[in-house]
């Protein structure tokens, strides 16, 4: 795609109004693309968002249930976590899969990058498929209270298709994998009922 | 899916640390699921995120190019905008499609709900397919400097598949539509070269 890289916004002042271990919030005084004065609120994330779909030789995967505090609801998702920007997304994917599910994967493939909310935040997500699995002890962080469930990928696809799972990383990863499968780019054993 | 609805977090205090026309940022003192003291940063969005894929009878769609200030990059996306929570997502989809592309659609179908970043924000997105199109004058807001391009849906799918488009709403909508098409739930005329 063409680049049009010149920034039509002019930043007049930038003020950090909040910082926590996870985010920084900035208030910018700007001139908008029409040249008029305005403001822009920018939320910067200290970490990447990482999501992993582990798939075993029978086509089974693992999903994680937890209470999501900002939305005040219990959700099921693919294994996810934050990736420190001093490391690589792959290192974070490897660590999260062990921590949340006790799964070591020989093979990781990054299948999708996402800008999660690009009008308001700079958060970027990386999604992986993990295969050639072996198992160890999970070690969730103490601020996490996780349920882990083994389901077939076909069941996970149904949960996304029928709207039971709406987490953006899970939806994008599962739809992408189903398309890769239909396009012959990834083999997953079908569910034998 | 099972609900596990009880909240394992205890909120001790909530303080609003920032508010703008678009977001509110809250700092919470909490007891985490292990019962230990901690903090939680919550970003609340005043609007829903809305994304629309208009598709005409020849399988063509429209994409929007703009500079995304938080990520400091130019991106191409499906038509998107914010939906005021006093109205419905459908009303916002109808308005955004006229504003950004000058397109009036007779038929809107909501194909996907997304929690965009549910560990940190309460932002929810609704994605639509719009068909039975007619055309009028677009009227972008003055803080927007948009390019609009007509491309075939097959070309848009290629831009998502090859990683040229990474906006989460665009990726989820385009992958979902391609699957609906392959599963016979939506008919899109193929590109005639």
Asked whether the beta carbons of residue A115 and residue B75 sit closer than 8 angstroms, the reply is yes
Residue B143 pLDDT > 80 = no
pLDDT tens sequence across A147-162: 999 999 999 999 999 9
Give the chain B residue nearest A164 (alpha carbons).
Answer: B1
Say how far apart CA B84 and CA A58 lie, in whole Å: 45
Give the chain B residue nearest A146 (alpha carbons).
Answer: B33
A58 within 8 A of A133, measured Cβ to Cβ: no
Q: Please state, rounded to an integer, the average pLDDT across all residues of chain B.
A: 95
Distances (CA, A) of B95 to B80, B108, B160: 10, 12, 25
When pLDDT is cut at 50, 70 and 90, the band that residue B138 belongs to is: confident
Asked whether the beta carbons of residue A116 and residue B168 sit closer than 8 angstroms, the reply is yes
- Residue from the list A7, A125, A147 with its beta carbon closest to the beta carbon of B4: A147
User: Rounded to the nearest 5°, which phi and psi values hold at B5?
Assistant: -70, -10
Q: Rg of chain B's alpha carbons, rounded to an integer?
A: 19
Asked whether the beta carbons of residue A41 and residue B33 sit closer than 8 angstroms, the reply is no
Give the chain B residue nearest A158 (alpha carbons).
Answer: B1
pLDDT tens sequence across A21-53: 999 999 999 999 999 999 999 999 999 999 999
Contact list in A for residue B1 (CB cut-off 8 A) is 65, 76, 159, 164-165
pLDDT-above-70 percentage for chain B: 97
User: Taking the CA of residue B189 as centre, how many other CA atoms within 13 Å lie in the half-sphere pointing to its CB?
Assistant: 13
Asked whether the beta carbons of residue A121 and residue B121 sit closer than 8 angstroms, the reply is yes
A128 within 8 A of A46, measured Cβ to Cβ: no
Polymer length in residues for chain B: 193
pLDDT tens sequence across B105-125: 999 999 999 999 999 999 999
Contact list in A for residue B71 (CB cut-off 8 A) is 115, 118, 122, 124
- Residue from the list B32, B114, B144 with its beta carbon closest to the beta carbon of A142: B32
Contact list in A for residue B179 (CB cut-off 8 A) is 161, 175, 178-179, 182
Contact list in A for residue B122 (CB cut-off 8 A) is 70-71
- Residue from the list A1, A41, A142 with its beta carbon closest to the beta carbon of B36: A142
Residue linked to tokens 């198992």: A135
Which residues are paired to A113 by β-bridges? A126
Say how far apart CA B16 and CA A113 lie, in whole Å: 32
Residues 6+ apart with CB under 8 A from B184: none
Size of interface A-B (CB pairs under 8 A): 225
pLDDT-above-90 percentage for chain A: 91
- Closest listed residue to residue B42, CA positions, set B24, B19, B20, B21: B24
Say how far apart CA B36 and CA A72 lie, in whole Å: 19
Domain A47-182: CATH class, spelled out: alpha beta
Domain ranges of chain B: 10-45, 47-114+124-182
Third-level CATH fold of B47-114+124-182: Nucleoside Triphosphate Pyrophosphohydrolase (3.90.79)
Say how far apart CA B55 and CA B32 lie, in whole Å: 47
Write down the pTM of the prediction.
Answer: 0.96
Give the chain B residue nearest A173 (alpha carbons).
Answer: B172
Three-state DSSP state, A40: strand
Contact list in A for residue B163 (CB cut-off 8 A) is 112-113
pLDDT tens sequence across B28-81: 999 999 999 999 999 999 999 999 999 999 999 999 999 999 999 999 999 999
Asked whether the beta carbons of residue B49 and residue A171 sit closer than 8 angstroms, the reply is no
Residues 6+ apart with CB under 8 A from B98: B104, B136, B138, B139
Q: The complex's ipTM?
A: 0.96
When pLDDT is cut at 50, 70 and 90, the band that residue B3 belongs to is: low
């Amino acid at each position: 795609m063409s680049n049009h890289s010149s920034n039509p916004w002019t930043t007049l002042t930038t003020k950090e109004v909040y910082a926590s271990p996870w985010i920084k919030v900035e208030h910018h005084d700007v001139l908008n693309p029409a040249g008029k004065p305005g403001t822009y609120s920018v939320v910067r994330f200290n970490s990447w968002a990482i999501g992993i779909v582990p798939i075993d030789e029978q086509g089974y995967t693992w999903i994680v249930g937890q209470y999501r505090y900002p939305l005040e609801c219990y959700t099921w998702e693919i294994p996810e976590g934050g990736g420190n920007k001093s490391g690589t997304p792959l290192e974070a994917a490897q660590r999260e899969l062990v921590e949340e599910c006790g799964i070591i994967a020989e093979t990781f493939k990054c299948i999708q990058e996402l800008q999660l909310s690009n009008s308001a935040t700079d958060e970027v997500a990386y999604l992986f498929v993990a295969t050639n699995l072996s198992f160890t002890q999970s070690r969730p962080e103490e601020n996490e209270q996780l349920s882990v469930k083994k389901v077939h990928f076909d069941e996970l696809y149904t949960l996304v298709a029928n709207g039971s799972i709406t987490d953006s990383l899970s939806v994008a990863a599962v739809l992408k994998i189903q398309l890769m499968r239909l396009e012959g780019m990834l083999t997953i054993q079908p569910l034998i009922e």
